Amino acid sequence: MLSDNEILEESRESFELQIEDNEILDFQKIFANDNPVRIEIGSGRGEFLIKTAMNQPEINFIGVDLKEKRVKTLYRKLYAEKIGNVRIAKIFINEENINFLPQNSIDRIYLQHPDPWPKKRHYHRRIIQHSFIDIMHKLLAKDGIVDIATDHEDYAMWIVEHFNTRIDFSSIYKKGFTREAEAGHVETYFEKKKREEGFEPYFMKYRSK
C-alpha cells in the first residue's frame, strides 16, 4: 500500500501543470485531445472543479489556486476519483500572470467565490477590473463564457457594473445576475459556509462577443 507521501507524489505527477517562464501552454500536448478547455481560478478545496469535470468528461479543465495546501488537496482528490480531464497549477493569477493561456483558446472561465476584498482601500486587489476583463476577453474563444458566483453583495454589484459598461460581453441574465442556482449547480465549500451564515449567492454569466 502506498504511503500518504507516495500518493501525493504520484498524484502530483499525474495532475500537476508546471508552467515555465514565458511558456504558452499546448493543450493538445497536455490533454492528448482537442476538447474544449475551461479554467477555474481559485479552485479552493475543489468541490466545483471535480464534480463539474466528472460530469463533463468531454471537456478539459484547468484548476488553479495560489495556495500549496489547496493544490495538494486537489491532487489527492483527483487521484482518488481517477479523473483524467483535469490539470492543476499552483499559481497566483493576475494580469501579468495569465499569459500562459493561448489567446482565443478558453471555452469558459470560472470564478467561484473570488476573494471580495471588502475594504475600499483594497478594491484594487479585486480580480475583476476592466484590465482583467480585457485579458479574459482575449483568452476566451468565440462565445466563451465568464461564470462567476459570489455571496458578497457589494462585489456582486461591482462585477455587474463593470460588465454593464462593456461592449465586448453580454450578460446571460437580464439584470446582470440571478439568485437562482441553475439545475445541476455544484455548491462549493465556501458557498455552503456562507449560506449557513445567511449569505445567498449571486450568479453571473457573461458571454464574450
Ligand X SMILES: C[S@@+](CC[C@H](N)C(=O)[O-])C[C@H]1O[C@@H](n2cnc3c(N)ncnc32)[C@H](O)[C@@H]1O
In the complex, the smallest distance separating the C-beta of residue 160 from ligand X, rounded to whole angstroms, is 19
CA 120, 124, 126, 130 torsion-angle sign: positive
Choosing from 21, 115, 134, 168, the catalytic residue is 115
In the complex, the smallest distance separating the C-beta of residue 120 from ligand X, rounded to whole angstroms, is 19
Among 11, 150, 188, 208, binds ligand X (CB under 6 A): 188
Spell out where 14-158 has E strands: 37-41, 60-65, 86-90, 106-112, 140-150
Is residue 90 within the footprint of ligand X (CB under 6 A)? no
Rounded Cα–Cα distance for residues 78 and 72 (Å): 10
Active site residue 115: yes
Is residue 112 within the footprint of ligand X (CB under 6 A)? yes
145-170: b (≥16 Cβ within 10 Å) or e: bbbbbbbbeebbebbbebbeebeebe
Tell me if 169 sits within 8 A of 137, measured CB to CB. yes
Site string for ligand X, 119-138 (x = CB under 6 A): --------x-----------
For ligand X, the closer CB: 44 or 176: 44
The contact set with ligand X (CB under 6 A) reads 41-44, 64-67, 70, 92-94, 112-113, 115, 127, 188-191
Residues recognised as catalytic: 115
